[in-house]
Amino acid sequence: MSDHVSKSSNPEAKSIEDIEIISIVSDSVRAEDGVSRLIETGIAENLNKMVLGKESPNSGIKISRDEDKLIVGIHINVFYGVNIPQLSYDLQSKVKNAIESRTGLKVDKVNIAVEGIDRVRV
C-alpha cells in the first residue's frame, strides 16, 4: 500500500484515507452495546454543533499516524451500569480488527476516553 500521510498546510484537513478510517471507527463504536454517544472534543467541533446545529462526522474520533502505525483516539459517553473496562477492551479489539481488515493498515493503539455516563438509554 502507498503511504497514507496527508500533507497539507491546514492541520485540520483530513486525507481521504482518514475519512474512511473515521467512518469505520464510527460504525464500530455506534454498534457497540453500552456506548451512549461519541463526544465532541475540540473547539471546532463544539462551534460547529452550536452554530450549525449539526455534529461533525468525525466527532469524538481522532486519527494520528506515527511513521507506519495508526493511533486512534475515541471519546465516548457510556450508559450507567456498563462495565467500563470490559467495554473499553471490546471496543479496542473491534476497532483495531475492523480497521486492519478493511484497510490493511497497522493499528498501534486505540485509546478510549470515557467522558461521562448517561443514565437513560435514548
pLDDT per position as a tens digit, 97-113 = 999 999 889 999 999 99
Note if the pTM is more than 0.85.
no
The 10s digit of each residue's pLDDT in 51-98 is: 555 555 557 999 998 888 899 999 999 999 999 999 999 999 999 999
CATH number assigned to the domain with residue range 16-118, chosen from the 4 options 2.60.40.1120, 3.40.50.300, 3.30.70.1350, 3.40.50.1220: 3.30.70.1350
The CA distance from 88 to 74, in Å, is 10
- Four-residue CA torsion sign, 20, 10, 52, 36: positive
DSSP state of 77: E
Domain ranges, ordered by start, for the chain: 16-118
Instruction: List CB contacts of 87: < 8 A, sequence separation 6 or more.
Output: 32, 34, 35, 78
State the angle between helix axes of 84-103 and 16-31 in degrees (0 to 180), rounded to the nearest 10: 140
